[in-house]
Amino acid sequence: MSAPGPRRLIPLALQDLAEWPSPDSSVLDERLRTLYEKRRRAVSMYAIGRPFDEIRKESGLGEDEVQRLVKRCLILHADGSIHGFRALIPNYRVRQYTRHSAVSGNLDGTGYVGALDQLFQKLPQIRDLVHQLFYGTKKGNVLPEIAKPISVIHSRFKKELRLLGYTDYDWPFNTRHSGYQALWSYCRSLRNNDAQNAAYDRCGIEASRRGHVGKGIAPLLPNIRPFSHVQLDFHKVDAASIIVLRNDHGVELEIPVQRWHVGLLVDEYTGAILGAHVALEKTPSADSVLEVLDNALRPEDFGSADPRRGLTQQANVLLRQLIPELKYQCFASLKVDNAWGNAANEVVNNLMDTVGCAVNFGPVRAWWRRRLIEQIFQSLTQHGLQRLPSTFGAGPGDDRITCPNKSAIKFRILLSDLIKVIFTCIQKHNIEPNEGLEWASPVQCNEAALKNPCSGHIHQPLPKITQQGLWLTMHVEEVTVRGNINRNDRPYFVTDRCRYTNDVLAQSFWLFGKTLVIYVDRRHCRIVYATVKETGMRLGLMIPEARWRNSDCSWRDRKLFNRSGLSTRHTDIFEDPAELLAQEKITALLNRPKSRKVKSSSVALSLAKLNRIAPSTNAPSNLDQKPTPQKAEVEQNREQVGDPFGLTSVPPIKSVRRTDR
Amino acid sequence: MAHRDPALPHPSQLDCRVNSFAAVTSGQRKAANLWFFDSPKNKARFTIRSDIVFMQCVLLEGLVDVVRYVPHPPAVSVTEECRSIDISADIYSYQSDGTANWLELVAGDRIHGGGSNCSRGKNAAATKQMRYINRARREIEAQGILFDNWLNLCAHINRCKNLIIHKELDFIVERSKFGSVTVRSLLSDSEDPAKMLSAIALSLHRGLTATDLDRRLWGYDSLLEWTGA
């Protein structure tokens, strides 16, 4: 009877067999499972020092076999630990096959297993070459190529071997395909073993970025209650639309509008859309970002003619409209991307001063940080805009695209029509159940959370005083008080080539040369408040000079006007520069040369945006009008209103308007 | 149209504004996560790189004995093998008893006393007479509920930072002295929910009252208790 010897084979650090990796034996078939359990019993008995006779009696395995199995278990695995009990599974490979004997094939073409590895061991420079070609690594002055096909790598592989003196009698040239299959398998293993490295070099930068997604690591920031985290992003509208102008002869011209954007603010926990803004700009600006935020906070109602009521003419689209208790509801953090509009100083600082939240800018090009909002945009697009005949589709290869601009003209798809479609989709998203919320809708989730005290969802509105005068959309700057006491020029200040004063400032000669902090409403540059920087004394609402006094021009647009020189050269003192600019753009569009290709126009987009700020009958009065009524109806209408020559018949104006506050 | 004078901030309150555009568009931040956060404890607007440092900063807001902290402090030079190496902590924190801490946050599991980076950090902390602390991602992740509670509480405080809320604060202290009181009952007695929430958050922030923020989401049913501080 053999006595138990010291268990030298198992190191001290690995004595605890409970720490050894082990397989899920329940998935093995009965035969393999029986054999595996027998082997495991033998190794376990060995580890605790049972005599080999006892082990043989229990498991049927002799001393040599037990020691062989133990050595297999202790071999290092590629994941850094040992193979452990995994090595006891029958036919389990613990080491990669390494060929030692010389390569000599059989008549039937077999017998070359391990030949490539043997070649690489003998000629490491060939292996390095294959790696370099596969990964596209730059070496010396050679221009790297990305994603070289395996056939090209194989050609180069053969060429190098020929230069080293390999003949048709040597492997791989003595095989049917000159080792192509072996090389292909090797390259595939390179890709499997280092997928991230291979992704960048063989599939491009977008593929490599996708390596950050689905790593199996839970995100660090918890998302455990509504309104803890919200996401904001803009999306380019995927359909063409037109504006309609009438020239001097009464002929209507349809002008395709350059693609614009829609911005959304979304709650990360429930996916509810809190705010939405149509940004009629090529690139969303800081103003547009602030508009999205303001739209989410301020309880604005959509008027009866507002296209934001959607196709169903419903006033309840956004969450604060569907749950009125959530008006002015704030949030704890906002996640945005690195667009310049988001990063603007006044966006971040005004938001933090008003809402008190933290603001996060994710890593560059890390769209997965705001996966929810990207998914919502995709859904809105697929269910709305991409179903229109004027869709731009999912990309250039999309078969649905058939001349979007021409389709927009043919089907008379107005800008306001697209807005209706978008807002209908937004409403649908907020009220329809979805799988992500276990077949509840975002509205239902919010209502349930408000009723459940354990959910952590509470009404957290803005302070009442902040609600009265939301200064989220204020631009702040410092100016110096001007004037001249010797000439009796009363105090005033100038900003953006516009003079401001009021009765308080006009009497305060002691303020000459002092610095004022002014707060300009970005939406209406005529609304300016001033405070003395030194003392904090409030001077109240300022009065601008005459030409800006009745203008609804925004602060940003006024800067653009000044840049173009329009306001200084062409305006009469009482004319609204915004309206004049709009008129100029209309003239430009009507006179633009006709081209065979129907091109969208950035001027038309600017005009559509101007129509919001100058919706009077003077300037763009013929935008977004309803389809022309039939001639008989027109005649009848004229006669009815006593206008037989049609001098006073003006098509109804349909445009997006902001309500007065 | 009549315009009411909005609640404009005092010019001095504009000094904390940050140059977010420069920070975000800087060529040096290719991959870094950026957070802009108003710290009630420091009365400053911080620019924080990385989620883990941001989370730790928010957790520090909840520690009453921490009087202030500094995220991303400047690097410290340490001599090692006759060469100078710059080591920087993730956060410096300062306690009311005068203790200064050098916090190092690691993305993986805790480094168990070993590792050259850990020893360098310890040496650097020693040169500044600071206590060296390292925290692993897993530890911070385990405090997810506490973090979310304090993130929301800091937002309540910041929303009313320019407003006077001493009446609400006194009311809370008086009510809680008589026994535990729920957030719901305090809100039901207030005219402005935002100011009351801010005062409740401040009372927790200053350690005047306490509630379970480790295991429960802060909300209407949170029970505030007077701490006697």
**Proportion of chain A above pLDDT 90, given as a percent:** 26
CB distance A360–B34 less than 8 Å? yes
Q: Which of A203-207, A315-319, A620-624, B61-65 is predicted least confidently?
A: A620-624
Q: Does B2 touch chain A (CB under 8 A)?
A: no
Residue B32 CA to residue B19 CA, distance in Å, equals: 17
Q: Which residue is listed with tokens 């979007």?
A: A404
CB distance A343–B20 less than 8 Å? yes
Q: Tell me what pLDDT residue A389 has.
A: 66
Interface residue of B25, B33, B188 to substitute, partner A, most A CBs within 10 Å: B33
B86 Cβ contact list (under 8 Å, min separation 6)? B75, B76, B77, B78
pLDDT tier, A212 (very low <50, low <70, confident <90, very high otherwise): low
- Name the residue of chain B whose CA is nearest to A349's CA: B17
Q: Nearest CA of chain B to the CA of A502: how many Å?
A: 14
Exposed, middle or buried: residue A285 (CB in 10 Å: 0-12, 13-18, 19+)?
buried
CB-CB neighbors (< 8 A) of A536 in chain B: 10-12
CB distance A359–B221 less than 8 Å? no
CB-CB neighbors (< 8 A) of A221 in chain B: 51, 55, 147
Higher pLDDT, A418 or A157: A157
CB-CB neighbors (< 8 A) of B197 in chain A: 458, 460
A626 Cβ contact list (under 8 Å, min separation 6)? A651, A652, A654
Residue A534 CA to residue A35 CA, distance in Å, equals: 88
pLDDT tier, A311 (very low <50, low <70, confident <90, very high otherwise): low
pLDDT mean over A487-491: 90
Q: Nearest CA of chain B to the CA of A347: how many Å?
A: 9
pLDDT tier, A144 (very low <50, low <70, confident <90, very high otherwise): low
Paired tokens of B32 = 């870094």
Paired tokens of A406 = 């021409």
CB distance B193–A333 less than 8 Å? no
**DSSP one-letter code for A642:** T
CB-CB neighbors (< 8 A) of B162 in chain A: 353
CB distance B35–A332 less than 8 Å? no
Q: In what order do the strands lie in the sheet with B223-226?
A: B181-182, B223-226, B209-210
pLDDT tier, A625 (very low <50, low <70, confident <90, very high otherwise): very low
Between strands A489-495 and A498-501, the pairing is: antiparallel
pLDDT tier, B218 (very low <50, low <70, confident <90, very high otherwise): very high
Specify whether the CB–CB gap between A343 and B20 falls below 8 A. yes
Answer yes or no: is pLDDT of A561 > 70.
yes
Between strands B91-95 and A252-257, the pairing is: unpaired
CB distance A363–B31 less than 8 Å? yes
pLDDT mean over A379-407: 67
Interface residue of B151, B161, B184, B211 to substitute, partner A, most A CBs within 10 Å: B151
Cis peptide bond upstream of A404, omega within 30: no
- Name the residue of chain B whose CA is nearest to A534's CA: B11
- Name the residue of chain B whose CA is nearest to A464's CA: B192
From B96, B208, B215, B86, select the one nearest B149 (Cα to Cα): B215
CB-CB neighbors (< 8 A) of B148 in chain A: 222, 224-225, 228, 456
Residue A591: other Cβ atoms inside 10 A: 8
CB-CB neighbors (< 8 A) of B217 in chain A: 224-225, 454-456
- Scanning B83-112 for CB atoms below 8 A from A yields none
pLDDT mean over B152-174: 93
Interface residue of B1, B12, B21 to substitute, partner A, most A CBs within 10 Å: B21
Q: Tell me what pLDDT residue A367 has.
A: 64
Interface residue of A212, A335, A353 to substitute, partner B, most B CBs within 10 Å: A353
CB-CB neighbors (< 8 A) of A334 in chain B: none
CB-CB neighbors (< 8 A) of B221 in chain A: 453-454
Give whole-number Cα distances, A205 to A200, A246, A436, A493, in Å: 5, 48, 30, 52
- Name the residue of chain A whose CA is nearest to B157's CA: A356
CB-CB neighbors (< 8 A) of A516 in chain B: none
**DSSP one-letter code for A434:** B
CB distance A469–B159 less than 8 Å? no
CB distance A458–B51 less than 8 Å? no
The most confident of the ranges A86-95, A98-107, A631-640, B33-42 is B33-42
CB distance A361–B219 less than 8 Å? no
- Name the residue of chain B whose CA is nearest to A460's CA: B194
Q: Tell me what pLDDT residue A194 has.
A: 73
From A496, A499, A495, select the one nearest A517 (Cα to Cα): A495
- Scanning B170-209 for CB atoms below 8 A from A yields 183-184, 191-195, 197-198
The most confident of the ranges A122-126, A384-388, A649-653 is A122-126
The per-residue b/e assignment along A343-367, b for 16 or more CB within 10 angstroms, e otherwise, is bbbbbbbbbbbbbbbbbbbbbeebb
Q: What average pLDDT is seen over chain A?
A: 79
CB distance B7–A469 less than 8 Å? yes
Interface residue of B3, B150, B159 to substitute, partner A, most A CBs within 10 Å: B159
CB distance A454–B218 less than 8 Å? no
- Name the residue of chain A whose CA is nearest to B219's CA: A456
- Over residues A523-537, the pLDDT tens digits come to 888 999 999 998 888
Q: Which of A61-65, A72-76, A657-661, B219-223 is predicted least confidently?
A: A657-661
Q: Nearest CA of chain B to the CA of A295: how many Å?
A: 18
Answer yes or no: is pLDDT of B131 > 50.
yes
Q: Nearest CA of chain A to the CA of B100: how many Å?
A: 26
Paired tokens of B207 = 């350690």
Q: Nearest CA of chain B to the CA of A541: how many Å?
A: 7
pLDDT mean over A26-52: 90
Q: Tell me what pLDDT residue B54 has.
A: 96
**Proportion of chain A above pLDDT 70, given as a percent:** 74
Q: Tell me what pLDDT residue A216 has.
A: 67
pLDDT mean over A211-229: 80
Q: Tell me what pLDDT residue A572 has.
A: 53
A232 strand-pairing partners: A265
CB distance B183–A458 less than 8 Å? yes
Give whole-number Cα distances, A146 to A138, A184, A205, A218, in Å: 10, 17, 11, 33
The most confident of the ranges A164-178, B114-128, B141-155 is B141-155
From A366, A378, A359, select the one nearest A264 (Cα to Cα): A378
CB distance A463–B195 less than 8 Å? yes
pLDDT tier, A653 (very low <50, low <70, confident <90, very high otherwise): very low
CB distance B21–A343 less than 8 Å? yes
Q: Tell me what pLDDT residue A301 has.
A: 73
pLDDT tier, A638 (very low <50, low <70, confident <90, very high otherwise): very low
Higher pLDDT, A275 or A571: A275
Closest CB from B8, B21, B55 relative to A344: B21
**DSSP one-letter code for B216:** S
pTM to 2 decimal places: 0.75
CB distance A340–B25 less than 8 Å? yes
CB distance B148–A347 less than 8 Å? no
- Count of A-B CB contacts under 8 Å: 194
